[in-house]
Chain A
């Protein structure tokens, strides 16, 4: 299908972009890689008056360490995230999830900032953002402000971004040593959206037969209109014994504490029912996949 007509501007600096966006008014949309927006336009599910192309703004590019954070420019492509040694060292959960986003060609064009600002709860990266307490650096003509991930996702496809604001970067806190990570994505075909996904970070402690969860972070994909931080699981899993090397979470063995904690994964969620899954099934998946993600992250 064919997109509706719109105007297009490609500013050469962030201030220009902010001015253009402010001038364009409420029906303007920010275009970065376009991998989410273009299909929407082609299906005529969106009718923007103007697209402000921020894809080439230097202010939105670059990955660097910044104090205890990794700062990733919003226009960093998924592919660049996957290749960045800084990201891999500083926030390994992000590339693990990014590797499951769509397919290689889409990852070449699609951007981290675009995915987050699109705020599709079925997208893989918002759950990582909430699990890692990312901070969203948002610019407007009035200056910059920082929005914590927990406040950024407001509703289905809706964020805390105001009409004349642009997401410039995210700051990902470094978690320190001893953490393990896993993104467990459940989907029906390789390129399909997640039915449910679980982003997990776990810091195990102890050794040998007495390994335990010291601390965990869990974010859930597609378990509600926004990504969900599974706080109940995180609290309950503290101190849970972990299986020794090579064992799974088999019934009756170590890992039962993790299983019990994971059973809380759907608490307080309101998962959608759609073509591919009922809310009930999503709840079940969240529990199973959370257990798997925690164990895999701890392994």
Chain B
């Protein structure tokens, strides 16, 4: 067992974990962050995407021990005192989700994408989301939502923090 400290959505957790424990299982099974789901075994689907020290990562492909000392942001930590994150709002407005299973990962990947490209073209959004699979929407509305969310974030001065 290893003792690790991980900050998740602003709260520090100290946990005794088996080295093989996946970060996503730490989140889901240990600290109840079930907003981040699991969709595959191979790092392909992206449903479990979170921010690890500020950049997107697939939490099914990271050991909890690798995240020792790190800061994790999940979809559950996005909303602020003023309500939803602009990207959450944009996904709602543009009908960018149906079953919603891919949505947490998709939103995290979208926010990450804007850190490098605050005003992405349609092609840039599509390329930036290549690691996040959705089976419901056909992606058209997701692309629109990401660009809409980007606009809202630019207006709020909330992008390009890197």
Contact = CB atoms under 8 A, between A and B. Distances in A.
A51 B63 CA distance: 11
B41 A103 contact: no
Interface of A: 1-8, 10, 31, 34-35, 38-39, 41-43, 51, 53, 55, 79, 102-106, 108-109, 190-191
Given A7-B19, A8-B2, A38-B61, A103 B42 contact: no
A1 B127 CA distance: 28
Interface in B34-63: 41-44, 46, 49, 52, 55-58, 60-63
Given A5-B20, A108-B55, A10 B61 contact: no
Interface string B104-117: 00000100110000
B130 A39 contact: no
Contacts of A4: 20
Given A6-B19, A103-B46, A105-B109, A191 B61 contact: no
Contacts of B131: 102-106, 191
Interface size class of B (residues with CB under 8 A): 20 to 34
B106 to A, nearest CB: 11
B102 to A, nearest CB: 13
A190 B127 contact: yes
A1 B24 CA distance: 12
A191 B45 CA distance: 10
Contacts of B58: 105-106, 109
B79 to A, nearest CB: 22
Contacts of B55: 79, 108
Nearest to A82: B116
A156 to B, nearest CB: 19
A105 B52 CA distance: 10
Contacts of A42: 22, 41-42, 60
